[in-house]
Amino acid sequence: MLFDEWAADQDPGFKEFFYNELLPAMKTSGKTVIVISHDERYFDCADKILKLDEGQLITMKNEHSYYRR
């Protein structure tokens, strides 16, 4: 599943639900989930973080601690 800035215009309560409950539930059920987001508050939810600059991959991290809320 691909979510491109899907939670960007959602209210704060739904963003919490989306990142902390819905996405983990999808992962648990075996879904591959790709989330495109500029919201650094939720980067620690990711298994992998890919950072692009002008269409070029400049960073790839696997650590959950790469960004902190």
* pLDDT tens digits for range 24-58: 999 999 999 999 998 888 888 888 888 888 989 88
Domain ranges of the chain: 2-66
Tokens of 65: 């601690």
The pTM for the full model equals: 0.73
DSSP string, the chain: -EEESTTTTS-HHHHHHIIIIIHHHHHHTT---EEE---GGGGGG-S-EEEEETTEEEEEE--GGGS--
